[in-house]
Amino acid sequence: MALFWRIWLAVTFVNLAVLTIFIGLATLQFGNINSDLVGERLAVLAERTAGPFKAAARIGLPLSSVRNAEALLERARQTDGAILAIHVFDNQGHIVQSTEKPPPAEIPARALSARAASGGAPWHIEADESFLSSIDIARDHKTVGGVLIVYPKISSVTHIRAMAAELAFATIVILFAGAVLSLILLRLSIGRQVRLYDSIDSAVTNFERGAWRSAAGRPSLSMEGDAEDLGHLLETAEMSYQAAGRELAPDQKDSP
């Protein structure tokens, strides 16, 4: 039965490996989808927030001159209490209006790089501890600045971990059910072959022991079941080998 358990353990290990890979890929996919959803939602909020600043840019006013800019940004921030900050920045990335007090001097370097790569389209990226989402503000098809929203990453990480935990629990249940099912199916499908293998292995072992016992003048071990015929064949072969050896022995003595 040792062979049977080795086969069952191999099947169970393969199932575990496949399920582990599935959990990893599913978690990564969920993280990417969640990141895209957060980015798209923030992009919509940034578009709405940029309305008054776009109007000011169209008539040639600087973005820092918009009346009640702080109140407009704060109202937008309160639509989601998790938002860390909303910044309005000029074309060089210098922040001119912000909900953060005191505001930083400029937007992060990663945001500048993402903005340059976007070609004027809305964009969002993941920083170390936050999501960054932004749209540009243009005048006469020339960019004069933009709106950047900073959103914490912890809530997204919590969702991803919860998803991974649910998948891990489901995997444990599936792995246990699969192990039991594979045990039953293997017994039904290869049980006879495994028993035959075990009997042959036992017959060979007994034959080896019997050969040593015969050499010592002791009776050979008896065999049972499917291995009995094999045991007789092995004993017959051994007897033929010994007889051939005895016949060749005189010839070897007579040779010079």
Single-letter amino acid, residue 118: S
Domains parsed from the chain with CATH numbers: 2-153 (3.30.450.20), 161-249 (no CATH)
Q: Stretch 48-59: mean pLDDT, rounded?
A: 88
Q: Are strands 130-139 and 123-126 parallel, antiparallel or unpaired?
A: antiparallel
The more confidently predicted of residues 220 and 43 is 43
Residues near 1 by beta carbon (within 8 Å), at least 6 away in sequence = 194, 198
List, in sequence order, the alpha helices (H) in the chain: 2-49, 51-58, 69-77, 109-118, 154-215, 227-254
pLDDT tens digits for range 123-166: 888 887 888 999 998 888 888 889 999 999 888 888 888 988 99
Predicted model pTM = 0.63
When comparing pLDDT for 210 and 89, which is higher?
A: 89
